[in-house]
Chain A
Amino acid sequence: MKLCITAKGESPDAQVEERFGRAPFFIFHDTEQDTYTAEANTFADAAGGVGPRSAQVLIDHGATVLVTGQLGGNARRVLEGAGIEVYQAAAGSTVREAMAAYRENKLNRIL
């Protein structure tokens, strides 16, 4: 299974970014391989429509779960349409911590 976490930096020890569409990095976590791959979000500075375009990136990567802070309305609709589950990470936690919390079912599901 592939998860995506929005992050302020490229490393799994970076803090979770609370904004989805304008997150600097998407970190994809492959649960079978236990690998983390960071991808810079090219839409972080884009003019508009960043929510749907970022959601498209997740779809194209085949992620089925997203861990982030907050979602805009347009991103929500795309993620919902694609059947991606969304969980809210605790403020200030790192990507690794958020992953652990997800595995222990401690995250609040927001979509």
Chain B
Amino acid sequence: MKLVVASGKGGTGKSTFSANFALSISRCRDVVLVDCDVEEPNLHLFFSGDMRESDVTVQVPVFDMERCDLCGKCGEFCRYGAIAVLPEKIMFFHDLCHACGGCRIVCPNEAISETERVIGKVWDAPVDEHLRLISGVLNEGEPNGIPVIMAAKEAAEGNDLIIYDSSPGTACPVIETIEGSDYAVLVTESTPFGLHDLKLAAEVVQKLGVPAGVVINRSDGKDDETEAFCREAGLEIHMKIPFDREIARLQSRGDLFSVAMPEWQERFVELYEDICTRTGGAP
């Protein structure tokens, strides 16, 4: 089974939830947790363990100036402005290149070949016997994290229970992460901002046909508006995590509150079993 933890809004506690959730479930079965928030991956901050690092690369063009006659067809074709053809040379901007391979196809002189360029990394770390953390990390200054998300998800393939932690928002990286999941947990907070963005997230999962439920984090008890929305949208509220200074403090230090407060582990396991019942998966 593949679960995805998502939220329209950033900072609702998605990673906090994912880390505690995955760790709690791993007490009774094997779990692979995948950090797909490749622009700001944080899950590794909660866990220790030796990690194996592998590069994520994309194919970028190399120009053979012996063969190039500066005809300009590659620059004209490139929709991303990554190639400029000067009177005496070619300039290539790797940060604008989407690695589509089109320039190589249009070149009439076979002057373009391709080479691999590293844009990020995948860290694969066994946290303990039952929990494995895979993190996708986009290099700073790189605009496109999609290949890194794909690589991180690929690394987790073949396992029975995979939990994807998505980046915030509703754009392409989020879609890439949610795709292929059996169930989505939407983490929100009880403010008007949280609700506004929960609505967007609910729209995305609905569009992708992924069933979903809600967790309200940092709840101060004033959740009426969020509850009303969830009722209307048919979203089950699985759990409320109260605003609690102790939880906030543990969190800030990079500690997991379910370790210090083990009663939460049971609640996370119950939540997981609840999801299994809803999706028809075996716990």
Contact = CB atoms under 8 A, between A and B. Distances in A.
Establish whether A and B are touching in the complex (CB under 8 Å).
yes
Interface of A: 43, 46-53, 55-56, 59, 74, 77-78, 81-82
Nearest to A82: B86
Nearest to B83: A52
Counting chain A CB atoms within 10 Å of each CB, which of B81, B86, B87 scores highest? B81
B85 interface: yes
B93 interface: yes
A50 B86 contact: no
Given A48-B80, A52-B93, A74-B96, 13 more contacts: A47-B79, A49-B78, A49-B93, A50-B81, A52-B81, A52-B82, A52-B84, A59-B84, A74-B81, A74-B93, A77-B91, A78-B91, A82-B87
B89 interface: yes
Nearest to A43: B81
- Please classify the interface of chain A as helix (H, G, I), strand (E, B), loop, or mixed, using the class held by over half of its residues: helix
Give the interface size class of chain B.
10 to 19
B75 interface: yes
Contacts of A49: 78, 80-82, 93, 96
Query: Which 9 pairs from chain A and chain B are nearest by CB?
Result: A49-B81, A53-B81, A49-B96, A78-B84, A52-B84, A52-B81, A82-B86, A49-B80, A81-B86
Counting chain A CB atoms within 10 Å of each CB, which of B78, B83, B96 scores highest? B96
Contact of A56 (B75, B79, B89): B75
7 contacts: A47-B79, A49-B81, A49-B93, A52-B82, A59-B84, A74-B81, A78-B91
Nearest to A55: B84
Contacts, number: 46
Contacts of A53: 81, 84
Nearest to B95: A74
Contacts of B89: 81
Contacts of A47: 79-80
Contacts of B82: 49, 52
Nearest to B89: A81
Given A56-B75, A59-B86, A82-B86, A46 B91 contact: no
Contacts of B80: 47-49
Nearest to A59: B86
A50 B96 CA distance: 10
Nearest to A53: B81
Nearest to B143: A48
B192 to A, nearest CB: 32
